[in-house]
Structure 1
Amino acid sequence: MMKKYLLLFCALSIFLTGCGSKFAYNNIDWLMYWYIDDYVELDKTQKKLLDGHVAQWMTWHRQDELTEYKTQLEQIKLQVSQDNVSAQQWEQHFNNAKQHWVRFRDHISPELARLAPSLTDEQVNALFAELDKENLKRIEDRLDDNFEKRLKKNIKNTQENAREFIGKLSLEQKNIIESFADDFQSSFDLWIAYRQRIQSAAHEMLLNERKEAHFKAKFLALLSHPETYQDDKLAQISTHNNQVYASMLAALTTSLSPKQKRKAMDELQDIIDDISDLQED
């Protein structure tokens, strides 16, 4: 039921970067309601049920999960300070970040499966109608850009993200980003198809089976094992793109000037400090 706003929660809690991250984390319950209103309107009873679960999730996440994020960030900071973060080490960090999400997903999925039967047919249909509209918009936006335009946009976005973290890029660093851009493989069509498959399965379950005795176990399996709806080719492309991105980050890390390294260290420390503050709140 609440997959979309839970993705927002995960994104904010895992990637505590940028201005206002602590504010966003501490107000995540309000932000969830603001976000989910775009998809389905909960009644007072449903909101009350959700309130109790959100409070429990936040307590667990603050007490247990933030320590995991902090440990990983401290490791990255140490590796950056030593001027040598290999592609293999970056890939391991990607895998660790994925495990943060898996733990969060596995922690909340049983509660979601128990809450889902409280939805009405109208709410279920409204939710998936909005998701269908979102998918269609993504497809239409994709059709508006040709390959060259998408490539230029991806290069620009990657350079801007790097610039925010390490400061002004050298010509060498811009060239590093451009040189790796062609190696990324597009997964859009496969990703949209995967998204539509799992949404269709969830829609059918919620609409036709949520009052059945077997529903909670079946819906929990969908939430906990979304990869069963994923094409093997999509997984292969994802692995490939992670490897390309890790290699690019390794090359950028090696190219850092002393000033850029100091900025990167400061940025990492700011995030670590934010997490420490959140743990003490």
Structure 2
Amino acid sequence: MTYPNLDWLIPWYVDDYITLNQEQSRLLENRLINALDWHCHTQLPAYGQTLKDLAYDLDDSRLPLSVERLHAYADQLNILWRVIKIQIGPEVADILATASDEQLAELFENVEQRNNTFKAKYVDIPLAQLEQKRRKKMIKRINRWLSEITPVQKQAVFDWSAEIRPLAADGLDHRQRVTAELKNLLARRQEDPDFKGAFVDLLVNIDLRRTAHYQNDLDVNTDLTLMLLEKIERSLTPTQRSYLLGRIRTFSADLEKQNCDPSAVPLSTHETVSTQVSG
């Protein structure tokens, strides 16, 4: 339901951060149609194949998934996410290069508000409360894919949550440092000939801006989470495995049904724009 409506959902999301003028909105929507066409033709098949491979691996309970295999799936998804950033980075840079000082002030004010919200929800609360929220969210996600979590699986989630390292404070620091770098970059957007390249580098390689301590804790938490998934997979009941396979295959089929004809992508309801995009 969401994917065919990204043409208006993305501008709506952007509007939460920065108010674009008419020319910028037209540029965004034209570039977006081109990007969605690219994504539908080149990226959806990759996601669909990954889901098919996962379903194949899950179909035989005699060959349980290993942490190493789960890492491989995670790496595939991270590569696809990186490809998206490489593709859209220059387009975003072109739009931001036209922003006024007033628009950028609005952008960074909204970013700061969201950072403050993040701080209130995840940094300024007791660790016990944060752990409780983490357990609740994970159990909800597992129930979505398995229908009903078992007591043994629920205990595995509790054990996992107790070992997870707190990341919120380091995550907030990372967000603030990246924001500061972006602000300095945008301040020279009109006179720096390498602005676009520097912006794409920041977008694509944002992970490289993490501190060594933050990255280490992220790696530890990733390993813990994949070990949890390994435990969950090895404890699946026949009913759970069947339900999970059904969900994955339905999801894969939904991706394959997406219409990749750019002329079929509905334009935003708030403005009709030309679908002609320069090569």
In 1, distance between residues paired with 2:257 and 2:55?
A: 18
Aligned to 1:66: 44
In 2, distance between residues paired with 1:92 and 1:166?
A: 22
1:162-192 per-position Cα deviation (integer Å, ceiling 9, x unaligned): 1111111211111111111112111111111
Q: 1:167-182 counterparts in 2 under 5 A?
A: 167-182=147-162
In 1, distance between residues paired with 2:19 and 2:46?
A: 34
1:39-79 per-position Cα deviation (integer Å, ceiling 9, x unaligned): 11111100111112101111110101011101110111111
Aligned to 1:119: 99
Classify 1:209/1:280 alpha carbon distance in 2 versus 1 (closer, same or farther; 3 Å): closer
Choose which of 170, 187, 207 in structure 2 pairs with 1:207.
187
In 1, distance between residues paired with 2:252 and 2:208?
A: 35
- Is 1:131 the equivalent of 2:111? yes
Aligned residues with identical type, % of pairs: 20
In 1, distance between residues paired with 2:123 and 2:241?
A: 39
Equivalent pair of 2:139/2:154 in contact (CA under 8 Å): yes
- Is 1:255 the equivalent of 2:257? no
1:207-248 per-position Cα deviation (integer Å, ceiling 9, x unaligned): 234333232222222222213321111111111111111110
Aligned to 1:54: 32
Equivalent pair of 2:11/2:29 in contact (CA under 8 Å): no
Shift of 1:95: 1.2
Classify 1:45/1:237 alpha carbon distance in 2 versus 1 (closer, same or farther; 3 Å): same
- Of 141-150 and 259-268, more deviation after overlay is shown by 141-150
How many pairs align? Answer: 259
In 2, distance between residues paired with 1:27 and 1:122?
A: 30
In 2, distance between residues paired with 1:209 and 1:47?
A: 19
One-letter amino acid matched to 2:60:
Q
Q: Secondary structure at the match of 2:90?
A: helix
- Unpaired runs of 5+ in structure 2? 262-279
Extract structure 1 runs of 4+ deviating beyond 4 A: none
Equivalent pair of 2:167/2:214 in contact (CA under 8 Å): yes
In 2, distance between residues paired with 1:211 and 1:202?
A: 15
- Is 1:155 the equivalent of 2:135? yes
One-letter amino acid matched to 2:226:
A
In 1, distance between residues paired with 2:127 and 2:207?
A: 28
In 2, distance between residues paired with 1:160 and 1:221?
A: 36
Greater relative contact order (CA < 8 Å, ≥ 6 in sequence): 2
Aligned to 2:54: 76
Q: Secondary structure at the match of 2:192?
A: coil
Classify 1:144/1:192 alpha carbon distance in 2 versus 1 (closer, same or farther; 3 Å): closer
1:65-114 per-position Cα deviation (integer Å, ceiling 9, x unaligned): 01110111011111111121111111111111111100100111122222
In 2, distance between residues paired with 1:109 and 1:166?
A: 37
In 2, distance between residues paired with 1:102 and 1:119?
A: 25
Aligned to 2:219: 239
In 1, distance between residues paired with 2:203 and 2:190?
A: 14
Aligned to 1:97: 77
Q: Secondary structure at the match of 2:120?
A: helix
**When the two structures are superposed, what TM-score results if normalisation uses the length of structure 2?**
0.89
In 1, distance between residues paired with 2:85 and 2:150?
A: 40
Q: Secondary structure at the match of 1:39?
A: coil
Instruction: Give the structure with the higher percent helix.
Output: 1
One-letter amino acid matched to 1:204:
N
Aligned to 1:32: 10
Classify 1:210/1:185 alpha carbon distance in 2 versus 1 (closer, same or farther; 3 Å): farther
